[in-house]
Chain A
Amino acid sequence: MAYTDPTSTRPASLCYSCIHQQLVPNTRGSVFSLCRRSRDEPDASRAIRGCPCCNVRDMNAKVTRLQTAAIKGTRLRSVEQVTLGRSGAAGDRRFFLVDDRGRMLNSMVLGELHTVSAGFDESSGRLSLEFDDGRVWTTSSPRRRRGNHGLRRVPHGAARRRAVGGGPVDAVRPPAAAGAHRVGCRPGTKGPSASYRAGRCSASPSRRRPTLWTHAGSGC
């Protein structure tokens, strides 16, 4: 995973095995070696030929697969690229299911979630669920169904019941203005959130319907 010299099989310097090295090409075809540490550390030299940092060991590993799941616990989907932030990969585990008591469901609790593949299109705001029998449900357009937060209820069916352990699913998405941290149960917390208790959800606990919530939008 550390950088290697793309033009030679022999390292030009120790820095070619350093994770902080960045090669900067110019318009004339020259390539310069920049130490990324110089951006944050004034004492670090910009042009580097060797430093203690270069003792970083090359793990000699390469990335072979990237996988994300729009809904926590569902089947992973391979993706070509991910955008990483401090809280994880963008879009990964953006949603999760809660049961009628507001508790988060995951694959440990509900193994059948592995049979569901979920995807979320950021541009259209549509969430799609694909079940192992080939059925696909896609949420309605947010603009047309504002009253239901843009996502419609998942219709009844055997595949759906398998997916949530026998109970129906209501898929809802909070308004975009609602901060993600204000809705749903944050990972690691117990019990329903304040939003859930306040009834800001189309499926009340008394209806005993697992509900789809959104959270911070990153891995959990």
Chain B
Amino acid sequence: MDSRRFRMLIEVDGAEPHAEDDWVGREARVGESLLHFEGTSGAA
């Protein structure tokens, strides 16, 4: 499936499938920004 189907602002590689489900409540640094994952969109 083409990843563009999910219309992601930020696309990452190297994570396990559905790893993002465990990111909720955590933080990640991308470049100069610190991101806080508040929840999933349900789009997938």
By the criterion CB–CB under 8 Å, are B12 and A219 in contact? no
In the complex the two chains form, what is the Cα distance from A56 to B29 in whole Å? 11
Assembly CA distance A219 to B10 (angstroms): 12
Asked if A82 CB lies within 8 Å of chain B CBs, one says yes
With contact pairs A3-B29, A19-B28, A59-B28 given, residues A82 and B9 touching in the complex (Cβ less than 8 Å): yes
In contact, B9 and A56 (Cβ under 8 angstroms): no
Chain B proximity mask over A4-38: 1 for CB below 8 Å, otherwise 0: 00000000000000011000000000000000100
B8 at the interface (CB under 8 A from A): yes
B9 touches A19 (CB 8 A): no
A59-B19, A59-B23 known; A65 vs B29 contact (CB < 8 Å): no
Asked if A63 contacts B30 (CB within 8 A), the reply is yes
Chain B residue, CB-CB nearest to A18: B29
Q: Judge if B21 is at the interface, Cβ distance under 8 Å.
A: no
Q: Is A136 part of the contact surface with B, judged by Cβ < 8 Å?
A: no
- Interface-centre pick from B3, B11, B29 (highest chain A CB count, 10 A): B29
Q: Does A61 contact B (CB under 8 A)?
A: yes
B8 to chain A, nearest CB (A): 6
Could you count the A-B residue pairs with CB atoms below 8 Å apart for me: how many are there? Answer: 67
Give the residues from 39 to 68 in chain A that come closer than 8 angstroms, CB to CB, to chain B: 56, 59-68
Q: Which of B9, B19, B29, B33 contacts A219 (CB 8 A)?
A: B9
Q: Is the CB of B13 within 8 A of A92?
A: no
Report Cα–Cα, A1/B23, bound state, in Å.
Answer: 12
Q: Could you tell me if B29 and A60 are in contact, using CB atoms closer than 8 angstroms?
A: no
Min Cβ gap B4→A in Å is 6
| Residue interface bits A84-100, CB-to-B below 8 A is 1, else 0 | 10001100100000000
Can you list 21 pairs linking A and B with CB atoms under 8 Å apart? A1-B28, A56-B26, A59-B15, A59-B28, A61-B14, A61-B19, A62-B12, A62-B13, A62-B14, A64-B12, A66-B9, A67-B8, A67-B9, A68-B9, A76-B7, A82-B10, A84-B33, A84-B35, A88-B9, A92-B9, A107-B7
Chain A residues packing against B (C-beta within 8 Å): 1-3, 19-20, 36, 56, 59-69, 76, 81-82, 84, 88-89, 92, 107, 219
